[in-house]
Structure 1
Amino acid sequence: MKPSRITVLVVDDDPGHRNMLTTLLADWGFRVEGAEDGETAVDRCRERAYDLILMDVRMAGISGIEALREIKGYNPAIPILIMTAYSNVETAVEAIKAGAYDYLTKPLDFEDLRQTMDRALDHAALRDENRALRQTLSASFDSGGMIGQSLPMHRLMEMLATIAPSEATVMITGESGTGKELIARAIHANSPRRKGPYIAVNCAALTETLLESELFGHEKGAFTGAERRREGRFLAADKGTIFLDEIGEMPLSMQVKLLRVIQEREIQRVGGDQTLKVDVRIVAATNRDLLAEVEAGRFRQDLYYRLNVVALALPPLRDREEDIPLLAAHFLKRFADTNDKRIKGFTPEAMDRLLKHSWPGNVRELENAVERAVVLALGEYVGERELPPTLVGGEEQSLEGGFGHLTLEELERRAILDALEAAGGNKSEAARRLGITRKTLHAKLNRYGE
């Protein structure tokens, strides 16, 4: 937004400092108003919505912190920057807790002031865009369980809302574990084909012969073991959507046959000579660089361009840092409910570990890490001890009791036995430490034969 469209309210009971700031901001192109105290600022904000407020802390009458709270109570969307000549940690913390965007000390560094103002305005603009997008999507868009409020996710959701209603073929790219099938399901759920079938095929999980039969079906006797006719996935997806996962793993001979399906919208069963029309929307996904595969001769160029009509690139989790707490909390609740545990959240140290990890396995790795932590948790909060060693920099055996590379079920059994031992055999106390009910503890002990 251009400065000329932005109105800033400067609140300071020092006339000289207030006039200096209003002149400076006007020179920068902003529309500026001044207020001589907190009461006046609160009244002004009830009359109109300012884009940004610069407010002193120490003022006659109500303080800047008190005015901040009143303004935020009335209009929490206005970004407020607090200024003070009395810099101390307590005031800064109090201002931020009360809702200030940031904290500036006098005498002001004008370059720092401008940068902080720009950040606050950009943050407010993005927040407003996100709110508008959520309002637009909430009425008509099924997110399919996708979670995130980061800028990359904001852009992805906006793109999804645009392309889903079309009939265009979509290519989803991204690292393993980023949630490509969730995106494919969201595309189907928000398309005109939503009432039709959604069929997913993992192209990497089948041999070439089995993949052809899986996709196109086969006639009875087409090959050894083909005891009856089978309809393939393309026919099953008629009037709906077919999701071809790991398309980069498809053999070249199958790529030729898929290209024909895309071009002609018809298939032929293995061992048959009849052509069958199909009406499907194709969504494909890969974690490979398909252009590099084309150059290496492992993927057909003509098929690449047929599939890549609309490209969606999923961001890795390391580029969505602000989504990590949301995703972790979502997985924590799900696995706590599944395991009948009363876990309130993560300790600050554990959350710090989650935020600092690079997540090469992306959302899937985070999901697995949280599931493991829930199984091992002995109290109401997940701590560093319960996180995988890859996150805390230790070896698996460094965990108390030496869990080694056990399965989650074995880890749960070990955690229960350790809690019982620590509680001196008192099952009520062990259940409390584990964050589960005594009834659940009894059920788990019975299951493990303890």
Structure 2
Amino acid sequence: MVDDDTHQRDLMYSLLAPIGFEVLLADKASTGFEFLQEHDVDLVLMDVRMPEINGWKMVEMLREQHYSMPVLMVSANARDAEYNLQAEGYHNDYIAKPINLDALLGKIAQLLNLQWLYEESQNTAIIDEPKILDKPLVTAEQYQSLIALAEIGYLSGFKDKFSEIESVSRYPEDIASQIKEYVEVCNFPKIIEYLSELNHEA
């Protein structure tokens, strides 16, 4: 995974490492090329918007250096999808942020000729803790950290951050309940909208 966003790299690792992938995380193109020289890489997940060398240029350089593994381009910008049509011949597929796990696994299965076997698992829910009134109220900065994770669709990271904040600060009961309701159905647009309003008021 080549992406300059730390949260996005963490998200991809948390999605793929538990199901058996060895995930190499590069924050820029030069680090990605170092990994390619040191490891046998089966698939490259490539962010489009990066400083210095962007994803389109890096995948072009990959092909010029005769790397033939499939490349899946990843971007949060809808306009990149338009360019996607003009960049045929270098990359193999394209997926938009926030990453949908089912869509990602579907594309990986297609690119690597895999077949997934699923088993039932219990979803990890945000656990209610007793309200401790002497904790300070959640701050605007803490809400902003949740918004950043919601914007990239990082569900497990969002839950972890929510619990971390809850351990040191206090959410008003109605606010905590509403956030958990949106989290249960993975409604990230509503989470972002709601937290942005709270952030403005905090």
- Return the TM-score normalized by structure 2: 0.52
Matched, 1:30 2:21: yes
* RMSD (CA atoms): 1.7
Q: Does 1:91 align with 2:80?
A: no
- Percent same amino acid among aligned pairs? 31
Residue in 2 aligned with 1:67? 58
How many aligned residue pairs are there? 113
Please give the alpha-carbon distance, in whole angstroms, between the structure 2 residues aligned to 1:83 and 1:116.
12
Question: For the residues of structure 1 that align with 2:86 and 2:39, how far apart are their CA atoms?
Answer: 26
Residue 7 (structure 2) pairs with residue 13 (structure 1): no
Aligned twin of 2:102: 111
Where in structure 1 are there 5+ consecutive unaligned residues? 1-9, 124-450
Mapped pair 1:49 → 2:40: yes
Shift of 1:74: 1.8
- Do the aligned residues in 2 keep the contact of 1:39 with 1:61 (CA within 8 Å)? no
Larger relative contact order (Cα-Cα within 8 Å, sequence gap ≥ 6):
2
One-letter amino acid of the structure 1 residue matched with residue 73 of structure 2:
I
Question: What is the distance in 2 between the residues matched to 1:90 and 1:46?
Answer: 31
Can you list the C-alpha shifts for 1:239-288, whole angstroms capped at 9, x where unaligned?
xxxxxxxxxxxxxxxxxxxxxxxxxxxxxxxxxxxxxxxxxxxxxxxxxx
Q: For the Cα contact (< 8 Å) 1:72–1:78, is it kept in 2? A: no
Q: Could you give the per-residue CA deviations for residues 56-103 of structure 1, whole angstroms, max 9, x where no partner exists?
A: 0001110001111111222342100000011234321244x2411100
Deviation at 1:43, TM superposition (A): 2.7
Q: CA-to-partner distance for each residue in 1:182-217, whole Å, 9 max, x for gaps?
A: xxxxxxxxxxxxxxxxxxxxxxxxxxxxxxxxxxxx
Q: Could you list the runs of 4 or more consecutive aligned residues of structure 1 that deviate by over 4 angstroms after TM superposition?
A: none
Please report the TM-score for the alignment, with normalisation by the length of structure 1: 0.24
1:79 alignment partner in structure 2: 70
Q: Which has the larger radius of gyration?
A: 1
Distance 1:74 1:48 in 2: 15
Residues 98 and 61 of structure 1, relative CA distance in 2, 3 Å threshold: farther
Q: Distance in 2 between matches of 1:98 and 1:45?
A: 20
Q: In 2, distance between residues paired with 1:100 and 1:21?
A: 19
In structure 1, how many angstroms separate the alpha carbons of the residues matched to 2:31 and 2:44? 13
Match of 2:91 among 87, 100, 104: 100
In structure 2, C-alpha distance between the alignment counterparts of 1:75 and 1:52, rounded to whole Å: 14
2:86 and 2:53 map into 1 onto residues whose CA distance is: 15
Partner-residue secondary structure (3-state), 2:24: strand
| Preserved CA contact (<8 Å) 1:79 1:101 | yes
Question: CA separation in 1, counterparts of 2:99 and 2:18?
Answer: 16
Question: Where does residue 121 of structure 1 map in the other structure?
Answer: 112
Alpha-carbon distance between aligned partners in 1 of 2:33 and 2:89, rounded to the nearest angstrom? 15
Tell me the SS of whatever aligns to 2:37. Answer: helix
Instruction: Provide the rounded CA distance (Å) in 2 between the counterparts of 1:69 and 1:59.
Output: 14
- Residue aligned with 1:107, SS: coil
